[in-house]
């Protein structure tokens, strides 16, 4: 696989940094297909994401991640602890390739608080829950559960050592020195007081953090009145730690079982709909949608249309929480209830936890739309600069990029990727299986076939050149030869006014030193840090990625077929029996009639058909 330059991802991140907030939250790196590459949490999103622009300081794994990043999304949170909890949820849900994710899906880590010892231990647990203990989880990664255990240690001072270690301690360990354990192993705390800490930890883990905080505050006030200032300061530090890790109600709202939270925000004639999926009181992630609509459309109508279309191919939950009323809301509720076979409620909460969750979704909708508007403005500037560099008559609304992929001429495919003012238009991507005939490895001939098929069909189906299906600019991956081949095809089709540009890789295939070829113009280069160069590189690399994945898919499909599929009367079961017996289609081809008859499930007639298929006109020796 050809590694893509990290500079592309860095350029995208540098642009996004202009609009990133300085708030806690979770960020997701996405590849060209929209799949999550990495999910991370940050105390400051802006500062954390900025670190990915220091490419030389990143390990090789993260350099690969940045090079594959084509977009990313964020969710702001109230605290870093919320971000940690949400990060665990998303890692478990998305399983990003560059995260620390459990390789064995059958075993997730949990927080375990033992109940078979006088001084319960808090620790990470994985596997069968056979020990007498309380369990909270699961968590998606060992790192996430370790962070949670450490946070709980700082607040509740529970021991994490094994029972054997506990039984053999003669003096406090380092955790006691750094105030992460109360040292029950050497009697620094009584069993009664330790049990009180255990009770507080359980209350916190079951969602009663407010009760615990009030109890600690009362104890601190009493200690201050008793002039026990050291204990008061100790309790103050615990309260601060508790304040730091609590506040997860918005991320994982316990009072909401199964519900979707849908919030719309409008600005500058555009809308963003943010959807949070909550199941079993835990947040299973979120997504932003940007429905297309006229600038004058009413928000209630937009949201109503979105809700109906959104549940067209999925069952609605029992409750849908909204940030505003829908047009024909009662009718929509009735329709969704009919679809799900049970009552579905559409609620606009006015107070309480449900209201807080809806407002959180609305905030994320606003921030997502602001980022979208900023990105669209940046994309418009790039398209305008592209028009200037290539002397186009107007800013392009549709750019088509072409590339081929093959191995020594086999499994050859050509592809077309499309981009416009809103970025990649994946619904317009096209694959072309090269039909030939052509000389193996003849890239020029492949390009001629792809362009002939593409534009001959365009002339037939969309004869009006003002039709949006026609490109304003065509990019070819290659040099002067590919440009000449493309130019010849268009001239033969009578298309003489379509701008063509070929992008040739620089010396040693270095990114940033590409040469651009255009008809009637000397080859030229762009400055190494020109934003338009990064933009054109991304288009070229997206075409390259799509071509490679298309070729690999076609090659994999061909590998699972063989000559056995062409033998009449030989179905899947007999094919399997032959391959298991002989090891390969070649082994079947070289087998004699008697060998074929020895295969379980192959009778005399079938063996005769198989033998004659591979040896036409040859009469095998009869069996004795």
Q: Are 429 and 416 in contact (CB under 8 A)?
A: yes
User: Is the per-residue pLDDT at 474 higher than 60?
Assistant: yes
The fraction of the chain above a pLDDT of 90, given in percent, is 17
Element holding 203 (H helix, E strand): helix 191-205
Q: Which residue has the higher pLDDT, 106 or 210?
A: 210
The CA distance from 135 to 43, in Å, is 28
Q: Measure the N-to-C terminal CA separation of the chain; round to a whole number of Å.
A: 55
- Least reliable range by pLDDT among 108-112, 148-152, 553-557: 553-557
User: Is the per-residue pLDDT at 108 higher than 60?
Assistant: no
Which pLDDT score, from 0 to 100, does residue 623 have?
47
User: Is the per-residue pLDDT at 254 higher than 70?
Assistant: no
Pairing status of strand 319-322 against strand 259-267: parallel
Q: Tell me how many degrees the CA angle 591-597-603 measures, rounded to the nearest 5.
A: 135
Which pLDDT score, from 0 to 100, does residue 81 have?
65
- Least reliable range by pLDDT among 26-30, 125-129, 210-214, 365-369: 210-214
User: Is the per-residue pLDDT at 19 higher than 90?
Assistant: no
Task: Give span(s): CATH 3.30.420.340, the chain.
Answer: 399-558
**Residue range 419-444, pLDDT digits in tens:** 998 888 888 899 898 887 767 667 88
Reduced to 3 states (helix: H, G, I; strand: E, B; else coil), residue 505 is: coil
Which pLDDT score, from 0 to 100, does residue 139 have?
54
Write the CA distances from 227 to 99, 332, 340, integer angstroms. 49, 63, 63
Which pLDDT score, from 0 to 100, does residue 249 have?
46
Reply yes or no on domain 6-94 having CATH 3.90.1150.10: no
CATH topology classification for 399-558: Nucleotidyltransferase; domain 5 (3.30.420)
Reply yes or no on domain 563-614 having CATH 1.10.10.10: no
**Residue range 547-606, pLDDT digits in tens:** 888 777 765 555 445 667 778 778 778 887 887 777 777 778 888 888 888 888 888 888
**Residue range 198-237, pLDDT digits in tens:** 888 887 766 565 666 677 777 788 878 778 777 777 777 7
Instruction: Supply the mean pLDDT for the chain.
Output: 81
Q: Are 322 and 347 in contact (CB under 8 A)?
A: yes
Residues 6+ apart with CB under 8 A from 277: 260, 283, 284, 285, 286
Which pLDDT score, from 0 to 100, does residue 558 have?
54
Residue the block writes with tokens 């968590």: 139
Architecture label for domain 259-371: 2-Layer Sandwich (3.30)
The CA distance from 367 to 527, in Å, is 33
Task: Give span(s): CATH 3.40.1440.10, the chain.
Answer: 6-94
Q: Are 476 and 483 in contact (CB under 8 A)?
A: yes
**Residue range 605-616, pLDDT digits in tens:** 888 888 888 877
**Residue range 270-288, pLDDT digits in tens:** 889 898 877 555 565 577 8
Query: DSSP string spanning 141-176?
Result: -HHHHHHHHHHHHHHH----S-HHHHHT-SS--HHH
Q: Which residue has the higher pLDDT, 316 or 235?
A: 316
Task: Give span(s): CATH 1.10.150.20, the chain.
Answer: 563-614
């Amino acid at each position: 696989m050809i590694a893509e330059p990290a500079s592309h991802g860095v350029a995208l991140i540098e642009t996004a940094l202009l609009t990133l907030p300085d708030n806690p939250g979770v960020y997701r790196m996405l590849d060209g297909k929209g799949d999550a590459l990495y999910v991370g949490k940050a105390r400051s999103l802006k500062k954390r994401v900025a670190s990915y622009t220091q490419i030389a300081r990143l390990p090789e794994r993260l350099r690969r991640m940045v090079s594959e990043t084509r977009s990313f999304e964020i969710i702001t949170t109230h605290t870093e602890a919320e971000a940690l909890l949400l990060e665990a949820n998303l890692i478990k849900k998305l399983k990003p390739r560059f995260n620390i994710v459990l390789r064995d899906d059958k075993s997730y880590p949990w927080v375990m608080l033992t109940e078979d010892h006088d001084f319960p231990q808090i620790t990470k647990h994985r596997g069968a829950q056979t020990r007498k203990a309380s369990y909270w989880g699961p968590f998606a990664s060992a790192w996430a559960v370790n962070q949670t255990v450490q946070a709980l240690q700082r607040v509740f001072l529970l021991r994490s050592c094994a029972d054997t270690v506990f039984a053999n301690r003669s003096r406090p360990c380092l955790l006691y020195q750094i105030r992460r354990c109360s040292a029950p192993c050497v009697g620094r705390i009584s069993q009664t007081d330790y049990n009180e800490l255990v009770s507080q930890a359980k209350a916190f883990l079951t969602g009663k953090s407010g009760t615990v905080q009030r109890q600690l505050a009362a104890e601190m006030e009493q200690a201050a009145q008793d002039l026990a200032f050291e204990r008061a300061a100790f309790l103050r530090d615990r309260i601060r730690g508790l304040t730091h890790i609590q506040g997860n109600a918005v991320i994982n709202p316990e009072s909401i079982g199964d519900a979707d939270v849908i919030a719309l925000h409008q600005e500058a004639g555009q809308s963003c709909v943010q959807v949070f999926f909550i199941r079993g009181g835990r947040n299973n992630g979120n997504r932003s949608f940007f429905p297309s609509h006229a600038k004058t459309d009413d928000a209630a109508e937009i949201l109503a249309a979105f809700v109906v279309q959104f549940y067209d191919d999925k069952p609605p939950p029992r409750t849908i929480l909204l940030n505003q009323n829908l047009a024909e809301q009662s009718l929509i509720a009735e329709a969704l209830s009919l679809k799900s076979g049970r009552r579905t409620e559409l609620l606009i909460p006015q107070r309480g936890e449900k209201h807080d969750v809806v407002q959180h979704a609305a905030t994320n909708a606003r921030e997502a739309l602001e980022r979208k508007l900023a990105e669209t403005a940046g994309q418009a500037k790039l398209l305008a600069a592209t028009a200037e560099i290539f002397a186009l008559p107007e800013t392009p609304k549709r750019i088509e990029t072409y590339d081929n992929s093959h191995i020594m001429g086999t499994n050859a495919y050509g592809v077309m990727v499309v981009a416009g003012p809103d970025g990649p238009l994946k619904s317009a991507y096209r694959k072309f299986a090269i039909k030939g005939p052509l000389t193996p490895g003849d890239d020029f001939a492949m390009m001629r076939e792809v362009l002939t098929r593409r534009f001959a069909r365009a002339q037939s189906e969309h004869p009006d050149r003002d039709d949006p299906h026609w490109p304003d600019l065509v990019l070819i991956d290659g040099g002067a030869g590919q440009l000449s081949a493309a130019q010849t095809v268009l001239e033969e089709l009578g298309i003489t006014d379509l701008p063509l540009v070929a992008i040739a890789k620089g010396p040693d295939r270095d990114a940033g030193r590409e040469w651009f070829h255009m008809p009637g113009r000397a080859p030229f280069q762009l400055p190494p840090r020109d934003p338009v160069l990064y933009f054109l590189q991304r288009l070229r690399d997206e075409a390259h990625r799509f071509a490679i994945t298309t070729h690999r898919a076609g090659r994999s499909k061909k590998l699972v077929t063989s000559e056995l599929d062409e033998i009449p009367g030989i179905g899947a079961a007999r094919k399997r029996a032959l391959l298991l017996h002989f090891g390969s289609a070649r082994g079947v081809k070289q087998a004699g009639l008697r060998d074929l008859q020895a295969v379980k499930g192959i009778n005399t007639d079938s063996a005769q058909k198989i033998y004659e298929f591979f040896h036409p006109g040859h009469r095998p020796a009869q069996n004795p």
